């Protein structure tokens, strides 16, 4: 007999409901507000998102049924395996047991299709014919491109120009899945034309791409906008990850001591951890750790404020830890996880001290990623490597304490489309970089005059 590596579920064991953590919060999440501090009602979001998703965004129901058609598409790759990282454990010489939930098995290579499929479905059900979105490196754009194709609606992706030129393969994935992907700024929107006239050779930015995508959504009746992280309903769609993981642990008669996820907008972290936090609310011992890059330290150094989701301030103000909507991530940093804010739900849980957060430098992350590839075989996405680096820290600590700790991380995606980051690492072109305090303070100036969450 060989040792068990993968804990697998049958398709009929897939979760049939999403878990909505809002139902179990002792202190409710502060509402989105306008710049004067007045709460924003669901109607205000209607030009941007379909009402069925806005209802999920504000729902206080603990469980929300997953429509059969969504389950049927998720079954193309779900349930995803929970792996025991025996070879990594051995290399570390740790008494800890390390498990990783492999979300890299989706066709787009990450957890992102879990919500992209649901969002394409609900938009189509609402009569929407076309979704717009932005993408930086291309992971979200490709997840939505595939999902719109599978659900039978059109997809328009505004891809930051510099990535469009430097990362042709993600762009080709989107085209293969039938999406219309253009470099942003484009000549197709007012915002894009204005910026091109002012600065013809701009590299573009996520802020510009979001503004272009929202502009096209609000100016056409049959078009809406789609966001890949941060919002409550997006995090809820990701809870299939944690719900499956709980069943997988039940199957082997274990329960994790520590859960770890990398945090950009917060969706994969929430997806793994929220269903377990429900147990923690009921008194279960459990540590939950979010890991972010030291160069973009939203949870560990940014204040808890109301801030906009985009540079042009087209979105309502959300209660979150934020580096300021004008934050420009340092170019020295290779991986994703560059967003200025983080999901209100994740921010709230940190405020309530129900989760922990830590920041790690990129060289330690790449070192961890390479050790992972050498032992487990799979090459992780640069974002995922943050969760792996923290896992290794925890495993080493278990060794020092001589404790058999059970650690589980969310392996949010593979890195086969991000090999240029690995190349830069191997060539010695990456350096550790802490966001300087004065740069942080300068970026926080954009928050002046905005209301504060109570
Ligand atoms: C997009 C992405 C992330 C960061 O987004 P979250 O919303 O924080 O999950 C992390 N890992 C991978 C592989 C991604 O594609």
Q: Is 263 in the pocket of ligand 1 (CB under 6 A)?
A: yes
Q: What pLDDT score does 332 carry?
A: 65
- Look at residues 359, 421, 349, 431 and name the one whose alpha carbon lies nearest to residue 393: 359
Are residues 158 and 97 part of one domain?
no
Q: Which residue has the tokens 């992280």?
A: 229
Q: What pLDDT score does 207 carry?
A: 80
Q: Which of 225, 245, 279 is the last residue of a domain?
A: 225
Tell me, in angstroms, the distance from the centre of ligand 1 to residue 383's CA. Answer: 6
Tell me, in angstroms, the distance from the centre of ligand 1 to residue 399's CA. Answer: 29
Q: Is 384 in the pocket of ligand 1 (CB under 6 A)?
A: yes
Are residues 291 and 150 part of one domain?
no
Alpha-carbon distance 79 to 9, whole Å? 6
CA atoms within 13 A on the CB side of 87: 11
Give yes or no for a contact between 453 and 305, defined as CB atoms under 8 angstroms apart. yes
Q: What pLDDT score does 268 carry?
A: 98
The rounded Cα 122 to chain-centroid distance in angstroms is 20
Are residues 102 and 117 part of one domain?
no
What is the bridge-based pairing of β-strands 82-84 and 97-102?
antiparallel
Alpha-carbon distance 345 to 353, whole Å? 12
In a domain, 16, yes or no: no
In a domain, 82, yes or no: yes
Which residues, 6 or more positions from 324, have their beta carbon under 8 angstroms from its beta carbon? 302, 307, 340, 443, 444, 445, 446, 447
Q: Is 142 in the pocket of ligand 1 (CB under 6 A)?
A: no
Are residues 174 and 298 part of one domain?
no
In a domain, 61, yes or no: no
Q: Which of 191, 225, 259 is the last residue of a domain?
A: 225
Which residues, 6 or more positions from 430, have their beta carbon under 8 angstroms from its beta carbon? 332, 334, 362, 363, 366, 421, 424
Ligand 1 atom at minimal distance to the Cα of residue 143:
15
Q: Is 262 in the pocket of ligand 1 (CB under 6 A)?
A: yes
Q: Is 173 in the pocket of ligand 1 (CB under 6 A)?
A: no
Alpha-carbon distance 316 to 328, whole Å? 20
Strand-pairing partners, residue 410, are: 101
72-105 burial, b if ≥16 CB within 10 A, otherwise e?
A: ebbeebbbbbbbbbeebbebbebebbbbbbbbbb
pTM over 0.95: yes
Q: Is 294 in the pocket of ligand 1 (CB under 6 A)?
A: no
Q: How many domains does the chain have?
A: 2
Rounded (10°) CA dihedral 271, 342, 431, 289: -50
Tell me, in angstroms, the distance from the centre of ligand 1 to residue 263's CA. Answer: 7
Rounded (10°) CA dihedral 143, 144, 147, 151: 180
Are residues 271 and 147 part of one domain?
no
Q: Is 264 in the pocket of ligand 1 (CB under 6 A)?
A: yes
Give yes or no for a contact between 240 and 74, defined as CB atoms under 8 angstroms apart. yes
Give yes or no for a contact between 292 and 386, defined as CB atoms under 8 angstroms apart. yes
In a domain, 205, yes or no: yes
- CATH number at 434 reads 3.40.50.1100
Are residues 289 and 216 part of one domain?
no
Ligand 1 atom at minimal distance to the Cα of residue 414:
13
Are residues 129 and 81 part of one domain?
no
Rounded (10°) CA dihedral 289, 271, 91, 286: 40
Could you tell which of 206, 309, 383, 413 is best to mutate to test the pocket of ligand 1, judged by most ligand atoms within 8 Å of the CB?
383
Are residues 169 and 240 part of one domain?
no
* Main-chain phi, psi angles of 39, to 5 degrees: -55, 140
* Main-chain phi, psi angles of 95, to 5 degrees: -75, -10
In a domain, 432, yes or no: yes
Ligand 1 atom at minimal distance to the Cα of residue 381:
13
In a domain, 434, yes or no: yes
- Look at residues 276, 236, 265 and name the one whose alpha carbon lies nearest to residue 408: 276
Are residues 341 and 319 part of one domain?
yes
Are residues 360 and 326 part of one domain?
yes
Are residues 100 and 133 part of one domain?
no
Integer angstrom CA distances of residue 207 from 11, 116, 233, 248: 39, 20, 22, 39
In a domain, 58, yes or no: no
Tell me, in angstroms, the distance from the centre of ligand 1 to residue 135's CA. Answer: 12
Tell me, in angstroms, the distance from the centre of ligand 1 to residue 85's CA. Answer: 21
Give yes or no for a contact between 280 and 418, defined as CB atoms under 8 angstroms apart. no
Residue 302's domain comprises 75-109+232-444
Going from the first residue of the chain to its last (454 residues), give the mean pLDDT of each consecutive group of 10, the final group possibly shorter: 92 98 97 93 92 97 98 98 98 98 98 98 98 94 98 97 90 97 96 94 86 94 96 98 98 98 97 98 97 94 92 87 84 70 97 98 97 98 97 97 96 95 95 91 92 89
Handedness of CA 299, 256, 74, 390 (dihedral sign): positive
Ligand 1 atom at minimal distance to the Cα of residue 264:
8
Are residues 303 and 199 part of one domain?
no
Tell me, in angstroms, the distance from the centre of ligand 1 to residue 109's CA. Answer: 11
In a domain, 191, yes or no: yes
* Main-chain phi, psi angles of 4, to 5 degrees: -70, 130
Task: List strand residue ranges (DSSP E) for 103-160, in order.
Answer: 130-135, 154-160
Strand-pairing partners, residue 159, are: 135, 183
Bond prior to 48 in cis (omega within 30° of 0): no
Q: Which of 173, 192, 225 is the last residue of a domain?
A: 225
Tell me, in angstroms, the distance from the centre of ligand 1 to residue 412's CA. Answer: 6
């Amino acid at each position: 007999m060989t040792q068990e590596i993968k804990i697998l579920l049958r398709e009929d064991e897939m979760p049939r409901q999403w878990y909505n953590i809002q139902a179990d919060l002792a202190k409710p999440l502060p509402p989105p507000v306008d710049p004067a501090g007045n709460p924003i009602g669901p109607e205000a979001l209607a030009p941007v998102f379909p009402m069925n998703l806005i209802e999920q965004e504000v729902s206080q129901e603990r469980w929300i049924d997953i429509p059969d058609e969504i389950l049927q598409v998720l079954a193309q790759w779900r349930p995803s395996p929970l792996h025991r990282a025996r070879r990594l454990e051995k290399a570390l010489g740790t008494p800890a047991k390390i498990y990783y939930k492999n979300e890299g098995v989706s066709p787009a290579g990450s957890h992102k299709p879990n919500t992209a499929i649901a969002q394409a479905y609900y938009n189509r059900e609402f009569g929407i014919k076309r979704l717009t979105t932005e993408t930086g490196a291309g992971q979200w754009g490709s997840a939505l491109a595939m999902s719109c194709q599978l659900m039978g609606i059109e997809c328009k992706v505004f891809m930051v120009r510099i990535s469009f030129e430097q990362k042709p393969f993600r762009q080709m994935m989107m085209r293969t899945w039938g999406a219309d992907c253009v470099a942003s700024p484009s000549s197709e929107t007012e915002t894009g034309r204005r910026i091109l006239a002012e600065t013809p050779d701009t590299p573009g930015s996520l802020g510009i791409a979001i503004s272009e995508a929202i502009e096209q959504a609000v100016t056409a009746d049959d078009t809406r906008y789609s966001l890949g992280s941060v919002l409550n309903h997006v995090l809820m769609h990701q809870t299939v990850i944690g719900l499956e993981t709980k069943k997988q642990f039940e199957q082997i008669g274990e329960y994790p001591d520590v859960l770890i996820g990398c945090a950009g907008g917060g969706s994969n972290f929430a997806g793994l951890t929220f269903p377990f936090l429900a147990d923690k609310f009921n008194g279960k011992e459990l540590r939950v750790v979010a890991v972010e890059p030291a160069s973009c330290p939203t949870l560990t150094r940014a204040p808890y404020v109301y801030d906009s989701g985009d540079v042009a301030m087209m979105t309502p103000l959300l209660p979150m830890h934020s580096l300021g909507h004008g934050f420009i991530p340092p170019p020295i940093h290779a991986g994703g996880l560059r967003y200025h804010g983080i999901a209100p739900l994740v921010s709230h849980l940190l405020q309530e001290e129900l989760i922990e957060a830590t920041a790690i430098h990129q060289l330690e992350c790449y070192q961890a990623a390479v050790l992972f590839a050498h032992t487990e075989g799979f090459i992780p996405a640069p974002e995922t490597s943050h969760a792996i680096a923290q896992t290794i820290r925890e495993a080493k600590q278990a060794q020092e304490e001589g404790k058999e700790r059970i650690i589980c991380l969310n392996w949010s995606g593979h890195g086969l489309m991000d090999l240029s980051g690995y190349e830069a690492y191997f060539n010695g072109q990456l350096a550790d970089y802490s966001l300087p305090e004065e740069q942080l303070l300068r970026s926080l100036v954009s928050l002046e005059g905005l209301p504060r969450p109570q």
